[in-house]
Amino acid sequence: MTVTEYQVDGMTCGHCEKSVQEEVGSIGGVQDVQAEAKSGRMIVTSEEPVAPSEVAAAVEDAGYKLVSAGMPSGATGGGCCGGSCGCS
Ligand SMILES: [Cu+2]
């Protein structure tokens, strides 16, 4: 199982989160998507690593923009919060 953290630009409310979660969640092999409008973070859980280009396309389909990709979240311990407080 792979957990990857992304940064998405343009989400402003719960509806945005839901749109992103639905689009990215429809990618084959993706098991769970957690999107947070406030921080712009998106956590994708999948069976196999998903190509960043596929994630970017899904985010764009939803009407938003993928800013950064491919940060493993918690895979090797990492920081306390996945980097959002600057710990990593
Ligand atoms: Cu919204």
For the whole prediction, is pTM greater than 0.85?
A: no
Query: Ligand 1 centre and the CA of 19: distance in Å?
Result: 8
* Cα 12 from Cα 20, distance rounded (Å): 11
3-state secondary structure of 62: helix
pLDDT of 58: 97
pLDDT digits (tens, 9 = 90+) for 37-63: 999 999 999 999 999 899 999 999 999
Query: Ligand 1 centre and the CA of 66: distance in Å?
Result: 16
pLDDT of 4: 93
Query: Ligand 1 centre and the CA of 67: distance in Å?
Result: 17
Sorted by where each begins, the domain ranges of the chain are 2-72
List, in order, residues 6 or more apart from 53 with CB less than 8 Å away: none
* Cα 76 from Cα 28, distance rounded (Å): 25
Residue 68 confidence class, pLDDT cut points 50, 70, 90: confident
Q: What is the CATH number of domain 2-72?
A: 3.30.70.100
Query: Ligand 1 centre and the CA of 16: distance in Å?
Result: 4
* Cα 19 from Cα 33, distance rounded (Å): 11
Residue 3 confidence class, pLDDT cut points 50, 70, 90: very high
Neighbours of ion ligand 1 (CB under 5 A): 12-13, 15-16
